[in-house]
Structure 1
């Protein structure tokens, strides 16, 4: 009862208007915050931040700007990769006592290339509730503005600072049929783009998205080699999202078709095998049917020869 009365008096402001936050149940609230433009905060996020007993954040100075802008008075505590082992037990104790706690990152959605995974895992294992409060994300903001295919994506976060490890990761992702998304810092952008152009292909479409939602928001869309030249020796300001279009689809050749037909013929008749491979490759069904008959007859003749 005391907890609910305390929460009911907490407030937040939007412009000149002040609102009372409704009481919320105990649990960990994963609250997304703006990635640049503070106007992107959601009303639900503000109400949650106001209603919680305290807010766990990476940097109290950064989160303090947001809190001040919207008249939020909820106490702050730091939670980042360097003090997580010390702070995590405190958060679990507070949840055990019936408190409501918000987790935020410096910008965007927590846990997306930010600390928090272990905390959420421990909270769940301890039997407490976790509530995601969705909102801004550089990952999604960059994707919807890039003009690249968005039906299948691979988010790989930050690549390694070490050239060898970075290049190995790019080799692993080279043939994945998806739009690739990476975060990168300004001082590594040039070297990273050079590795991408060399390993993924100079003509592969790429986008460098910078200063998203801010005044100088920028999308540079071009083949990777052109982006290398654009940023060669340059160190732009702001956080960066690099997006790379999926690799060009390889035209199936005769060997591919034969392999697929032989696999299909092991479990289905010729007509069905030709239909299945036609859908998979885009090759003409009649041609595939004729080839399937040849492969089947050839296999039958080999079996007959073996018996002789």
Structure 2
């Protein structure tokens, strides 16, 4: 299967640069994965498509203010660092720009020396392992010096940093937001609970894979970057109960989807588990965990549109995307949403 099979025309003006004033006022396209039929709604109407006994699964990861701007100690060159994954203690896997300036042994300083980083290893695609030194608590220093790591297609500055966090974000560790969750408000979640819909939380820390394009011609040759996930015993028990009672499991975002499918691919049921997943879901994959998905509109030729196509069928998805372009839906992180049912 070719990467080109998942290309589509997207006018640049449809790439949302800023979030809407109200989270739940975004649009919601509902796609019937059996028929390909679509309907147009506001996101707050998502409750109308959920039934008592169903379970909505949310990713409670919290985005780190992981973009740092520093100076190379010996030359004074400006260096940008994006934290991706904590390795051991104060060592982090990072993306560095310009990477060619940073080699093993290079030292970068941030915030007039409040934070320093020494490169201990080099990786491909601009990856560097940096060991940080600081006084106090690392995350507190990071909150002071770091900026939210917005995707490269967003060129507008984000005035309210909290708009790149979900209202239920708790577990620090992501390099990017699980953006399908950005549409929910506390009020909407409470209404969903009142309807008798269960709400469960998992954690998957979004990592390097979000920033890597598919650089091979055949999708079967693409390697996904591993990301850390965690599912509690309480969540596993709830999901098993929902399944046994005939309820539907609807994941919010591809991150929640990949987490649950990873676990059910290894076990015959949901279990408490933490670990690393590099699962790559594309057409031909047989879903074992989920019955529906709430997700944003994704980049052409991305692993995310491949996952969505695996669930709803490539032709249905590309037809829905063509409709979304005609109807001027907003795309990507701050864009509108799709419910696949």
| TM-score between the two structures when normalised by the length of structure 2 | 0.26
Higher strand share: 2
Higher helix share: 1
| TM-score between the two structures when normalised by the length of structure 1 | 0.27
Using CA pairs below 8 Å that are at least 6 residues apart, which structure has the higher relative contact order? 2
Of structures 1 and 2, the larger Rg is shown by 1
